[in-house]
């Protein structure tokens, strides 16, 4: 695959094993990376990751969103040793020490994996940010992004709407984390309840390196056979 679909992470949400198999049997040749979240990981475990990677020749984005004391995060990542994971998520709000321990565990146990820090969950609105951090969502994002820059984490997960702020902060820094963005819909999708979504091309234009797309693909998998939708 030599088009932008290489930069799309297909989220395997709301599916059981059988449904995942049906989907990947048909479409794995149009998919480069799949996202396995807590839903599938808690149910089927580490062997499932190995099986999916081997059977369908796809790379794995393991979305565990780790957030705990630094030593627990270190040991959790140690438990992933031996798995073919391309990306693993943690929460930036775990703080500098937790992120550093995650990176140290990666170096020791899953060398080829990139650690991505989740910034502000896109499900949180302004009033949630006030309740949790007594701050605006933009300020919260900036503070979390500074943790990403300080720790030299490999990348962040954020709405493509935050990328302008991130790029502004990147200007003062040599280290520019990868930007991985969910909240993507195709232009043809008729969603009026989603104000913070972007099309693939809008998000790539904003500077996204990778996109996470779930329902817009899994509910209409034919889109995977149309590379032009990802340009
Ligand atoms: O909305 P969609 O089905 O494309 O979601 C795919 C993934 O993106 C979800 O598994 C979730 O982790 C993430 N997501 C998000 N913020 C949203 C919607 C989805 O972070 N507003």
State how many domains the chain has: 1
**For residue 193, pLDDT beyond 80:** no
Split at pLDDT 50, 70, 90, the class of 187 is: confident
Q: What are the catalytic residues? A: 65
Domain that holds residue 127: 3-230
Cβ-contact 91, 121 below 8 angstroms = no
**For residue 115, pLDDT beyond 90:** yes
Name the residue of 11, 39, 196 to mutate for ligand 1: max ligand atoms within 8 A of Cβ.
Answer: 11
CA distances from 42 to 30, 62, 166 (A): 26, 12, 32
What pLDDT, on the 0 to 100 scale, is given for residue 220?
Answer: 95
Residue 173's region, left for phi above 0, alpha for psi from -120 to 50, else beta, is: beta
- Ranking 35-49, 144-158, 193-207, 209-223 by mean pLDDT, the lowest is 193-207
pLDDT digits (tens, 9 = 90+) for 61-111: 999 999 999 999 999 999 999 999 999 999 999 999 999 999 999 999 999
- Ranking 120-124, 183-187, 194-198, 208-212 by mean pLDDT, the lowest is 194-198
| Structure tokens given for 139 | 């300020």
CA distances from 101 to 106, 134, 141 (A): 8, 27, 21
Q: Ligand 1: which residues within 6 Å by Cβ?
A: 11, 13, 37, 122-123, 182-183, 212-216
**For residue 130, pLDDT beyond 60:** yes
Per DSSP, the three-state class of 37 is strand
CA distance 29 to 107: 31
Q: How far is the CA of 213 from the centre of ligand 1 (A)?
A: 7
pLDDT digits (tens, 9 = 90+) for 162-176: 999 999 999 877 789
**For residue 112, pLDDT beyond 90:** yes
What H or E segment, with its residue span, contains residue 117? Answer: strand 114-118
Domain of residue 108, CATH code: 3.20.20.70
Ligand 1 atom nearest 218 alpha carbon? 3
Q: pTM (2 decimals)?
A: 0.94
Q: How far is the CA of 137 from the centre of ligand 1 (A)?
A: 18
Of residues 190 and 16, the one with the higher pLDDT is: 16
């Amino acid at each position: 695959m030599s088009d932008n679909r290489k930069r799309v992470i297909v989220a395997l949400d709301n599916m059981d094993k059988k449904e995942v198999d049906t989907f990947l049997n048909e479409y794995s040749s149009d998919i480069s990376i799949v996202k396995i979240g807590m839903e599938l990981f808690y149910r089927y475990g580490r062997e499932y990751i190995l099986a999916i990677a081997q059977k369908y020749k796809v790379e794995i984005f393991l979305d565990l969103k780790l957030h705990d004391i630094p030593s627990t995060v270190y040991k959790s990542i140690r438990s992933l040793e031996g798995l073919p994971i391309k990306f693993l998520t943690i929460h930036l709000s775990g703080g500098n020490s937790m992120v550093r321990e995650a990176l140290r565990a990666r170096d020791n146990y899953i060398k080829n994996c990139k650690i991505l820090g989740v910034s502000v969950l896109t499900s949180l609105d302004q009033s949630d940010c006030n309740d949790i951090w007594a701050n605006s969502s933009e300020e919260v994002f900036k503070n979390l992004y500074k943790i990403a820059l300080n720790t030299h984490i490999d990348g962040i997960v954020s709405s493509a709407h935050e990328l302008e702020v991130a790029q502004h902060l990147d200007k003062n820094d040599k280290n520019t984390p990868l930007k991985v963005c969910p909240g993507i819909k195709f232009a043809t999708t008729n969603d009026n309840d989603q104000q913070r979504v972007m099309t693939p091309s809008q998000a790539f234009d904003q500077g996204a390196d990778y996109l996470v797309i779930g329902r817009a693909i899994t509910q209409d998998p034919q889109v995977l056979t149309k590379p032009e939708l990802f340009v």
